[in-house]
Amino acid sequence: MSYELCVKSRAQQILVLRVEETDTILDLKKQIQGQIGTPVQEQQPLYFNGQELDDESATLLEYNILADDCPGGPVVQLGISAGESSFDLECLLPGGRRLKEHVTVDTTVAQLKGRLTSEVGIPYLCMKLSAGLEELRDPFTLRQYRLAGDSRIEVSTTRPLYAGPAAA
């Protein structure tokens, strides 16, 4: 089944292409060539979710580029390096729930905590974020902790939180 995929360039030019999960990266580059005229060999690298799509024989499915509920579908960046692009950061919340936050490497830990407070309701001052064994401090960016598209952080609280009255 085909779906829409957006390709965004450094110049903020956006191409909307029809693709299938079984299309290869080379197939995608050929579609881009058909739209903008740049030969495949001369195209800048493609990135998705902070990862370079460097294996031309790999399928979109292998890179987890799948149809989503967003208008225009998933966004692949053309010529925007992993350090400049945005990605989904997996956040493991207390109680085992998982949340994906769309961030860039320049997002600060404080900004991420603010988003988590808004979306999940954990008070900012009671929240502690960690990547592996390292606690993430508010003023630092995700780049300073070398967090990228395949990273996961754990969210914990500094004290037990009230969960509300039990359902009857």
Question: Using one digit for the tens of pLDDT, what is the confidence trace for 88-139?
Answer: 889 999 988 999 888 888 899 999 999 999 999 999 999 999 998 999 999 9
**45, 78, 111 - which closes a domain:** 78
> Do residues 111 and 153 share a domain?
yes
Q: Is residue 167 part of a domain?
A: no
Number of domains in the chain: 2
Task: Compute the average pLDDT of residues 150-163.
Answer: 85
Angle at 150 between CA 95 and CA 70, to 5 degrees: 80
Ramachandran angles phi, psi of 77, nearest 5°? -95, 135
Residue 157 makes CB contacts below 8 A (sequence gap 6+) with 94, 122, 126, 127, 128
Mean pLDDT of all residues in the chain? 87
146 vs 144: CA distance, rounded Å: 5
Q: Same domain for 12 and 74?
A: yes
160 falls in which pLDDT band (50, 70, 90)? Answer: confident
Domain housing 103: 86-157
Give domain status of residue 165, yes or no: no
Q: Are 102 and 91 in contact (CB under 8 A)?
A: no
* 23 occurs within a structural domain: yes
Q: Please state which of the ranges 16-20, 39-43, 57-61, 65-69 shows the lowest mean pLDDT.
A: 65-69
User: Among residues 124, 126, 145, 125, which one has the least CA distance to residue 135?
Assistant: 145
Based on the domain organization, do 96 and 142 belong to the same domain?
yes
Q: Name the domain boundary from 24, 49, 78.
A: 78
Element (H, E) at 119: helix 109-120
- Of the listed ranges 46-50, 70-74, 110-114, the least confidently predicted one is 70-74
Q: Given the structure tokens 């729930």, which residue do they identify? A: 97
Same domain membership, residue 151 and residue 94:
yes
**Is residue 166 in some structural domain?**
no
Amino acid 85: pLDDT: 62
Q: Same structural domain for residues 18 and 36?
A: yes
CATH number of domain containing 52: 3.10.20.90
pLDDT digits (tens, 9 = 90+) for 27-37: 999 999 998 88
Q: Does residue 168 have a pLDDT over 60?
A: no
68 domain-assigned:
yes
> Does residue 13 lie within any of the structural domains?
yes
